[in-house]
Amino acid sequence: MKVIAINGSPRKGWNTETLLKKALEGAGAAGAETEMVHLYDLKFRGCVSCMACKLQNGKSLGRCVQRDELTPVLERLHEADAVILGSPIYFSEVTGEMRSFIERFLFQYLNYDDFRKPLSPAKKCAWIYTMNCPEELFDQMGYHNLFQRYENWMKLYFGHCETLLATDTMQVADYSRYHLGRFDAEAKRLRHETVFPQDCQKAFELGRRLVAEN
């Protein structure tokens, strides 16, 4: 079984990548072959709406024809058994690179003849989000709808998806060096030391579950 994690964060070694690594560790512990892809290492763009993936009787039906550094990643994802997507939340959305990736990843499979019958292969999927926002502000920020929308898309296209949320995360190692005065640096540090390890364990269990329940 092959599990691929897509890291939509520009910051290596921080919250999102850490959780994705834990998820892959869990998948590996269950016997899967794993791979991590860092979107910010790649040169690519989003969908250009060329419609080549929608050509009737075309060789490219259901497959993106753009050729750039994302192309081989999309090919490996097509064959993978499970996909784990990870992104921090910036300005109440996934990162720009993740959004461009999603356009390329999902639009190729969109079936305009019948939305209920996408052209994608079935596979296990999961979302991992990290964010500075505490959960009590989700309603105000519209986050419940955001996360549900992305989960619903993955369920529609691939048949399965679950979501892991890491909230109120620590943004920097030393808050005193930045204009971040509205945040309680000590509270952030304490949460990172006590709650984030629990999130890491949840990520490990998520990865193991994607493989064990396949």
> pLDDT of 113-122, one tens digit each?
999 899 999 9
CB atoms within 10 A of CB 167: 19
Measured in degrees and rounded to the nearest 5, phi and psi for residue 183 equal -100, 145
Number of H helices, E strands in the chain: 7, 6
* Greatest Cα pair distance in the chain: 60
DSSP-assigned letter for residue 81:
S
pLDDT tens profile 59-91 = 899 999 999 999 999 999 999 999 999 999 999
**Chain centroid offset of residue 117 CA:** 23
Mean pLDDT of 94-106: 97
Return the pLDDT at 213.
76
Query: In b/e form, how buried is each residue of 185-214, taking b as 16+ CB within 10 angstroms?
Result: beebeebbeeebeebbebbbebbbbbbeee
The rounded percent of the chain whose pLDDT value lies above 70 is 100
Confidence class of residue 214 from pLDDT cuts 50, 70 and 90?
low
**Chain centroid offset of residue 110 CA:** 19
State which amino acid sits at residue 38. H
Return the pLDDT at 2.
97
Structural domains of the chain sorted by starting position, each given as residue range(s) with its CATH number in brackets? 2-212 (3.40.50.360)
Apex 148 CA angle, 182 and 75, nearest 5: 105
